[in-house]
Chains A and B, each alone.
Chain A
Amino acid sequence: MSNFNWYIDGSIVGFYLLATMIAGIMVRKYVGKVEHFLIAGREMNVYLGIASLAATEFGVVTCMYTAQNGFDKGFAGATPGLLNCLAMFIVGATGFCVKPLREAGVMTIPELFQKRFGTRIRWLAGVVIVLGGLLNMGVFLRTGGEFLVAVCGVGGTPGPDASFFQAHYLEICMTVLLLMVAVYTILGGMLSVLVTDFLQFIVMSAGMIAVTVLILTKIGWQPLVDAVQKTHGAGGFNPFVNKTMGWEYVAFNALLNTAAVLTWQTTIQRLLAAKDEKTGRKVYTGTAFFFVCRFLIPGIWGIAALAMLTPAQVGGNSLLAMPKFLSTFVPVGLMGLLVAAMLAADMSTDSSYMLTWASVIWNDILAPFRKGAWSEKRGLFWNRSLVAIIGVFLLFYGLWYPLKGDLWTYLGVTGTIYLASMSTLLIACCYWKRANNWGAAGAIIIGAAFPIAYLVLQQVWLEPKVNELGIQIIENGEAVKIAVVDRIIGPYYSGIAAYVFAGLAMVVGSLLKPESEAKKAGG
């Protein structure tokens, strides 16, 4: 039974949704060019940038996997947040890669690569960015829907007399959420995204802080620490001694987060939308510590679920432990703020991600097919259509993809499809004169091959799961199966290999190309 009150909490949520939709739709009149639609005419200043970047990089999906990390790994589960903060602060303070990228005046990263590696590499880079990005984003809607139905208490197994809503609550919730986001993103592009992100940042932050303070005052600090100590021992506080983490987890996350800071398209789009390079870097340094909050706050919610719920209450899925806990812990009134906050988080992420991948499809993948100069009107029509198509893809992918393993690892593996190669290409493009298109092509292919092979093997190479006595585990009359690739390699080694071999491919490929030919080709 949830504490969600449809009159009181529902009104708070309804008011938030109305305000967001009005703000998002109102700014559409300022969109006259493709540049306005994709990068807000490069008029974004520091504080709007911080609000937008923070809101974009925190969705319900983030809240779910960071809370799952807290539940499954204790405080040590916040390690990726610390690494991300460190990477973002160093990159912002030094301008490493982001300074030449912003100064180049491009709209996407592949556009920069064209200048150095040629049009084919730009196209290929666009393809892997969109592939990795869409697979990554594919689970956002379902996860967001699962959180909302669990917190609002409309979930559960529908009986034979269930109404249409009860039988399809998740699908309806996902569709409505997506439609609202799509409307303002299609109409106002980046301008709507920035303005709604700003509102969503305030609502999301207020909700997150209020719920965390409530947990710490009602439950207290010591019971949380005790729960982690009892369940995870020293590994709940130190990632290096946690049996599900270890040095390989820390190394993979260090590589992943550094690459994401340098090349994650939604993050980079804030840098490119900034009014100048200095503003872009200030957005980075100013937002850096938010990435600790992003992992630690929901992590504490997950730890609170660990402390307060019995294993029977949690069920078999640790991903749903946090929303189940919050549904009965948060009182009426604050529940409305929490749901509004999570809706805000989800909508800001979905809108930015849809716009971002659309921008890469338009700017880089469709570039060779855009013969001659297209009018601004035609460009806007195509960009709006791309956002809508991505929305439809998200809806269907989110409905059928069976997520295995923990969510953060899935996102890390799908993100690595392009993060490994794009970070290599960006660093080489900015700082290595000998880098050329042979090395770039090798890095893209090798960097994508490892995570794609891992994802495919995870779905098709299965074996029966056995208990400690070697007896096969049966649930609901069927044998439980696990992915063999998870048992023998695991996602962290495969992820580390993607980064290492992408770097090697860049070096070897570039050195293999005769210098005379590289000079002739200009790259």
Chain B
Amino acid sequence: MGEHWFWFLMTAAVLVWYSTVTVYVAIRGAMDIKTMLRNLAQAAAAPQEK
């Protein structure tokens, strides 16, 4: 680490943050897609029901 602690800590933070966010976004993002497509399908069906 030596005198370049700033870049060492930044690199460590990048790897930890990015790994965590990738897993979390993969799960929650899939749910977002499901909700988005369901809402769009409902909106498309709504005028026909009227």
Contact = CB atoms under 8 A, between A and B. Distances in A.
Given A48-B36, A221-B11, 17 more contacts: A27-B37, A41-B40, A43-B40, A46-B28, A47-B24, A47-B32, A75-B7, A209-B15, A212-B15, A221-B1, A237-B7, A289-B13, A293-B14, A293-B18, A296-B10, A297-B14, A297-B18
Given A290-B18, A290-B21, A293-B18, A47 B10 contact: no
Interface in A157-213: 191, 194-195, 198, 201-202, 205-206, 208-209, 212-213
Which of B1, B6, B11 has most chain A Cβ within 10 Å?
B11
A43 B24 CA distance: 20
Interface string A437-464: 0000000000000000000000000000
Interface string B16-47: 01110110111011111101110111011000
Contacts of A46: 28, 32
A427 B28 CA distance: 33
A517 B17 CA distance: 54
Nearest to A287: B21
Interface in A206-230: 206, 208-209, 212-213, 216, 221-222, 225
A221 B8 contact: yes
Interface in A40-62: 40-41, 43-51
Contacts of A205: 18, 22
Nearest to A47: B28
A46 B35 CA distance: 12
Given A32-B44, A75-B4, A237-B7, A195 B33 contact: yes
A392 interface: no
A105 to B, nearest CB: 17
Closest 6 pairs between A and B when the two form their complex, measured CB to CB: A47-B28, A48-B32, A205-B22, A45-B32, A47-B29, A43-B36
Interface of A: 27, 30, 32, 36, 40-41, 43-51, 75, 78, 191, 194-195, 198, 201-202, 205-206, 208-209, 212-213, 216, 221-222, 225, 237, 289-290, 292-293, 296-297, 300
A9 to B, nearest CB: 21
B14 A292 contact: yes
A51 B17 contact: no
B6 to A, nearest CB: 8
Given A45-B36, A293-B14, A300-B11, A225 B29 contact: no
Contact of B40 (A30, A78, A209, A297): A30
A46 B11 CA distance: 26
Contact of B33 (A41, A78, A194): A194
A216 B1 CA distance: 13
B38 to A, nearest CB: 9
Q: Is the interface of B mostly helix, strand, loop or mixed?
A: helix
B40 A48 contact: no
B39 to A, nearest CB: 5
Contact of B36 (A44, A202, A292): A44
Contacts of B13: 289, 292
A297 B1 CA distance: 17
Contact of A289 (B17, B28, B41, B44): B17
Contact of A206 (B10, B22, B24, B44): B22
B14 A201 contact: no
Contacts of A208: 18
Nearest to A221: B8
B7 A209 contact: no
B18 A198 contact: no
Contact of A30 (B25, B26, B35, B41): B41
Nearest to B40: A30
Contacts of B21: 50, 290
24 contacts: A30-B37, A30-B41, A40-B40, A43-B39, A43-B40, A46-B28, A46-B32, A47-B24, A47-B28, A47-B32, A48-B29, A48-B32, A50-B25, A50-B29, A51-B26, A194-B36, A201-B22, A201-B26, A202-B22, A205-B18, A205-B22, A237-B6, A293-B17, A300-B11
Contacts of B4: 75, 225, 237
